[in-house]
Structure 1
Amino acid sequence: MTLLQKELEERPTAERALRALGKAVGLSRSTIFRHLHAPSSASSTNNDVELRGQIQSIALEMRSYGYRPITEELHRRGVKANHKRVLCLLREDNLLCLRRQVFVRTTDSNHSLPVYSNLARGLALSNINQLWVADITYIRLRREFVYLAVILDAYSRRCIGWALSRHIDTQLTLKALRLALQTRTVPPGLIHHSDRGVQYASADYVALLQEHKIQISMSRTGNPYDNAKAERFMRTLKYEEIYLNDYETLAEVLASVQHFIEAVYNRKRLHSAIGYLPPAEFEASLSPPLLS
């Protein structure tokens, strides 16, 4: 018990005591009140230890999370925490630093195949299966490169199709598209958006889209912002999974990418654009329930 608390207990009226003590030591009544109700240093330390453990667990699992997504995840776990306190603890534990690496484009837009107008620019989305976005990136192994093609639902951010190969060709993108078609219902008006790469402009790829009556949309030349959602996914994948590993074989990459997409990105990773929910949970929350 502090001297201040002891003094107040011995006074008949707490209000009178606060005024008297405040006047004597030159402190306001509100300052004294905060002192009385502040947790003990031992209690505060214990709380910080527990909070640190939770923060470190989240930061290590979701390695590119900033302090706001971490705070949201803490709240989802029932942990009360202010985002400023989370930021402070992240700084103290040096968990805010992530190494940024160069993103390399992999598609070749210099070809004579037909290209299509950008139908996605300025499109207001209100549902899943209105806009699918596609992209390709490379993954470095010790002795070679492999290539990943993905398709995302632009509304929910869910990865609905992906494929991995040693060859960056139309078969790679076709495999990702076929997976998306297997897992989704194609409603009238669905748009497929990509860059102008030869893999997306090829006759076989265009024919499969047209067979399912999917509208074709392509980015303007040299404008990465036209396909920002897909490129943001690739960035997330690289920073949170690929750059943290040293792959030797295609099988290792395949297992790693599959786990990240299916178990982490789609089902656990929070997205600020959809109310800090994982894509699968966001889709399940849509009302009325939407069939994928």
Structure 2
Amino acid sequence: MAVQAATRVLEVTVSGCYAWRRRGPTARQVRHALLTETIRQVRVASRGTYGYRRVHAELRLGHGLLVAHGTVEMLMARAGLRGITGRPKWRRARPDLISSDLVDRRFARDGVDQLWVTDITEHPTREGKVYCAVVLDVCSRRVVGWSIDASPTAALVTNALGMAIDSRRPPAGTIIHSDHGVQFGSWAFTTRAKQSGLVPSMGSIGDFYVNAVIESFWSRMQVELLDRHRWRTRLELANAIFDYLEIFHNRRRRHSALGWLTPVEFENRSTITVA
């Protein structure tokens, strides 16, 4: 019944339907099947990188096969084969997300939560690199926000900024200063800053001293922690960074710029109040 119903819908005879089922594949179908298998072999040999243009060239020059570009493209599409595209490009930040330099190397502040600086550093382990973003208060030198991840994404810096905002509740007008890294020009980072009343600032391009306070911080961390060991796993290094930032740097390390007080001691003085 199913065959008879199908033949009525398609307006063909029952005998013609059974004859079609008995026929083998056409010469074109056989050729396409063989070509598809050869294309798969070419793709394997290219380590999965070739698109249809290079596959076509290899079929013609390497295998001596005469086949049209369109046929190769069609067969690869049917088989779900495609070449590797070029490296993903960073999208340039829109002009409204590029901030001017509101600091101009003048980092001195007489109170906390007036100026924060932020940046990213990286360090290798046997498993791969670890990236750390830090937000530093320039008055007390305290790390007020940080984030650690296996890749330097916008989420890395946005999470560090979010931690700083949640823990400090800064007043409107606090400056968050960075370099022109694409992460700091991202929509996520800029929106998080502006929604919390922060004022984004970016130093001039190509100026080593544009973020001198946090560059000095990274230099100390490199000497005092990162370069002292050969780190095996990302987790091992992440735990060590956490201990350095929260325990050693903020609470135990005495800073010459603070009259040899620790950042926490400096902020706890009666003349300094956290907003």
Unaligned runs of 5+ in 1: 1-107
What SS is found at the alignment partner of 2:218? helix
- Structure 1 residues 247, 119: closer, same or farther in 2, change over 3 A? same
2:162 aligns with 178
Distance between the aligned counterparts of 1:141 and 1:113, measured in 2? 35
Higher Cα Rg, which structure: 2
Counterpart among 212, 220, 225 of residue 196 in structure 2? 212
Relative to the length of structure 1, the TM-score reads 0.60
Relative to the length of structure 2, the TM-score reads 0.64
- Structure 1 residues 109, 190: closer, same or farther in 2, change over 3 A? farther
Amino acid at match of 2:266: F
Amino acid at match of 2:172: P
How many residue pairs were aligned?
A: 184
> Residues 5-26 of structure 1: CA distance to partner in whole angstroms, max 9, x if unpaired?
xxxxxxxxxxxxxxxxxxxxxx
Amino acid at match of 2:218: M
Distance between the aligned counterparts of 2:164 and 2:175, measured in 1? 13
1:240 aligns with 224
The answer (yes or no) to whether the contact 1:266–1:279 under 8 Å persists in 2 is yes
The answer (yes or no) to whether the contact 1:109–1:196 under 8 Å persists in 2 is no
Distance between the aligned counterparts of 2:173 and 2:194, measured in 1? 12
The answer (yes or no) to whether the contact 2:107–2:138 under 8 Å persists in 1 is no
Task: Using the aligned pairs only, state the percent identity.
Answer: 34
Distance between the aligned counterparts of 2:164 and 2:196, measured in 1? 12
> Residues 89-109 of structure 1: CA distance to partner in whole angstroms, max 9, x if unpaired?
xxxxxxxxxxxxxxxxxxx99
Counterpart among 194, 202, 211 of residue 178 in structure 2? 194
Unaligned runs of 5+ in 2: 1-88
Matched, 1:116 2:83: no
Structure 1 outlier segments of 4+, above 6 Å? none
Distance between the aligned counterparts of 1:113 and 1:169, measured in 2? 17
Amino acid at match of 1:211: Q
Distance between the aligned counterparts of 1:136 and 1:286, measured in 2? 33
Matched, 1:270 2:272: no
Distance between the aligned counterparts of 1:136 and 1:148, measured in 2? 6
What SS is found at the alignment partner of 1:266? helix
Alignment of 1:159-178 (within 5 A): 159-178=143-162
Amino acid at match of 1:203: W
